[in-house]
């Protein structure tokens, strides 16, 4: 009998039964075949001596990326530090990234499909085997790869290491079965299949049973590229030059971008990459011309660039020297000016108070799953609880930087109410000198659906998604605007 996860009504996915990292927790059993081979694989076949199958290097790099993430790295870190990925070029590099990302994006679905063929917890040594099976299944179910190519390269990947070489026949058998049944099985899975239960419960509770599936659906789509123009007056010109869609004044969207650095306008610093949702909090500071503004937790610098381009005297503060280096590089490329401060916000004491402060606090980043599909599998409820304490302390500290009558905008790229709406409410309760300044739709490009009953900003990945998610959605963000009363 299939053991159901009562929290979401699904058989617990395969990743929960593998005990090989901190985020694989709950045991389960689901019906299946051939599990005896997983615990007692047959002796390895002789290693092939001929040329490697076409595309094997790209698939091997994708496997290495998944292994790094399983070891605790983020997707961005893995892509940066993975040597086998770094040496790839052209279409191989693009395919490796797309394949690894697809496995992460559709991991819940893939593991439910694979669960039909495995009926007991897997040993630690099977971790790499499971990643190989996920890679093969992703190609077969979601990427349209011919069965022989997905299966043969999966077997070759297993043969590259002694601990997995004995699983080749099993991997081939499962891949062949999924080639026949996988797509049909995927169509029957609900939207929540690719969302861990704790996240699904929180989204359904906070946004309702209609919006939660739309959020999950948006996460299954590859996001487009949003760019922010240094000069919004050139919106029409750059839209035509880049063949881009105009989202708002000064905000463009490209569905297919390729190499960003090769696009017109990049080298001359006419624009920078920033999700449209991430660009909204800076707008809430209003006219910042010649005003002193502190951008706290500023890296990688999109909001700093926005404020500087609008005439503010910006100080960008961040604790990370490497991340601040990216801010400096972007400022240099766009020929904009800002002061850079490598400081811990909780310990920094500025020389003067600011007219406005923007605090983009550390958070769970669950609003950025479209671009970081590793997040659902690496973050936990415990992480959120730890972050909320830090966020509250940062709000309290940031308020000491604001002049009387000045403004503090607090924002997080999170879908968790504990990090957003609850923080706003708690801050107002802690500080009698604070009042909320409600947001109007005219301040955020007319996106009225992103304004809450309290007058705060709440974007969802399902907003700007268009029919069947074709338009790409946007990151999930929360922002509240406070005024420090005289």
Share of the chain above pLDDT 70, in %: 88
More confident residue, 23 or 58: 58
pLDDT at 266 over 90: yes
- Contact assessment for residue 293 and residue 307, using Cβ atoms and an 8 Å cutoff: yes
Instruction: Write b or e for each residue in 294-328: b if 16 or more Cβ atoms lie within 10 A of its Cβ, otherwise e.
Output: bbbbbbbbbbbbbbbbbebbbbbbbbeeeebeebe
- pLDDT given for residue 238 in this prediction: 97
Which tens digits make up the pLDDT trace of 78-127? 999 999 999 999 999 999 999 999 999 999 999 999 999 887 766 777 89
Give the chain's count of helices (H) and strands (E): 19, 14
- pLDDT given for residue 281 in this prediction: 98
Task: State the pLDDT confidence band at 27, using cuts at 50, 70 and 90.
Answer: very low
Surface-to-core class of residue 255, CB atoms within 10 Å of its CB (0-12 exposed, 13-18 middle, 19+ buried): middle
Domain spanning 4-190 has what CATH number? Answer: 1.10.940.10
Which tens digits make up the pLDDT trace of 407-457? 999 999 999 999 999 999 999 999 999 999 999 999 999 999 999 999 999
pLDDT at 12 over 50: no
pLDDT at 50 over 80: no
Q: Which helix (H) or strand (E) segment is 461 a member of?
A: none
More confident residue, 469 or 314: 314
Domain at 275-484, CATH from 3.40.50.80, 3.40.50.150, 3.40.190.10, 3.10.129.10: 3.40.50.150
For the chain, which residues make up each domain, given as ranges?
4-190, 275-484
Task: State the pLDDT confidence band at 29, using cuts at 50, 70 and 90.
Answer: very low
Average pLDDT over the chain, rounded to an integer: 89
Residues forming a β-bridge with 117: none
When pLDDT is averaged across residues 66-77 and rounded to a whole number, the result is: 95
Which tens digits make up the pLDDT trace of 338-394? 999 999 999 999 999 999 999 999 999 999 999 999 999 999 999 999 999 999 999
Angle in degrees, 0-180, between the axes of helices 197-207 and 211-219, rounded to the nearest 10:
130
pLDDT at 13 over 70: no
Segment among 132-146, 183-197, 343-357, 463-477 with least mean pLDDT: 463-477
pTM, two decimals, is 0.88
Please give the Cα distance from 459 to 354 (Å, whole number). 27
pLDDT at 11 over 60: no
């Amino acid at each position: 009998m299939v053991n159901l996860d009562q929290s979401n009504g699904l058989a617990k996915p395969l990743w929960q039964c593998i005990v090989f990292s901190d985020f694989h927790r709950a045991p389960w059993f689901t019906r299946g075949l051939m599990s005896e081979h997983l615990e007692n694989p047959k002796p390895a076949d002789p290693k092939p001596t001929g040329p490697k199958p076409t595309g094997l290097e790209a698939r091997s790099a994708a496997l290495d990326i998944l292994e790094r993430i399983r070891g605790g790295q983020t997707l961005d870190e893995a892509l940066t530090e993975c040597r086998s990925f770094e040496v790839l070029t052209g279409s191989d590099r693009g395919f490796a990234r797309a394949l690894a990302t697809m496995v992460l994006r559709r991991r819940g679905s893939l593991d439910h499909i694979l669960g039909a063929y495995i009926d007991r917890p897997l040993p630690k040594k099977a971790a790499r085997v499971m990643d190989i099976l996920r890679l093969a299944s992703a190609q077969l179910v979601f990427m349209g790869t011919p069965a022989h190519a997905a299966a043969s390269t999966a077997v070759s990947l297993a043969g590259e290491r002694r601990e997995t070489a004995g699983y080749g026949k099993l991997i081939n058998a499962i891949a062949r079965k999924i080639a026949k049944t996988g797509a049909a099985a995927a169509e029957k899975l609900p939207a929540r299949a690719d969302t861990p239960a704790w996240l699904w419960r929180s989204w359904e509770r906070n946004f309702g049973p209609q919006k939660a599936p739309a959020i999950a659906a948006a996460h299954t789509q590859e996001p487009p590229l949003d760019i922010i123009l240094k000069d919004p007056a050139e919106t029409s010109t750059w839209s035509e030059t880049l063949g881009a869609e105009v989202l708002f004044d000064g905000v463009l969207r490209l569905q297919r971008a390729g190499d960003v650095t090769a696009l017109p306008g990049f080298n001359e610093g006419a624009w920078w990459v920033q999700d449209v949702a991430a660009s909204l909090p800076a707008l809430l500071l209003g006219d910042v011309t010649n005003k002193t503004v502190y951008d706290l937790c500023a890296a990688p610098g999109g909001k700093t660039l926005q404020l500087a381009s609008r005439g503010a005297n910006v100080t960008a503060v961040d604790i990370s020297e490497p991340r601040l280096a990216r801010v400096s590089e972007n400022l240099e490329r766009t020929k904009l000016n800002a002061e850079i401060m490598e400081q811990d916000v909780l310990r920094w004491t500025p020389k003067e108070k600011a007219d406005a402060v923007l605090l983009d606090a550390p958070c769970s980043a669950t609003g950025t799953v479209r671009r970081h599909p590793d997040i659902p599998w690496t973050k936990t409820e415990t992480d959120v609880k730890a972050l909320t304490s830090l966020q509250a302390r940062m709000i309290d500290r940031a308020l000491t930087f604001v002049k009387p009558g000045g403004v503090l905008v607090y924002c997080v790229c999170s879908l968790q109410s504990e990090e957003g709406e609850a923080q706003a409410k708690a801050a107002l309760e802690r500080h009698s000198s604070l009042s909320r300044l409600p947001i109007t739709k005219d301040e955020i490009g007319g996106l009225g659906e992103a304004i809450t009953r309290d007058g705060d900003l709440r974007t969802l990945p399902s907003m700007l998604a268009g029919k069947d998610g074709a338009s790409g959605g946007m990151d999930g963000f929360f922002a509240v605007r406070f005024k420090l009363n005289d």
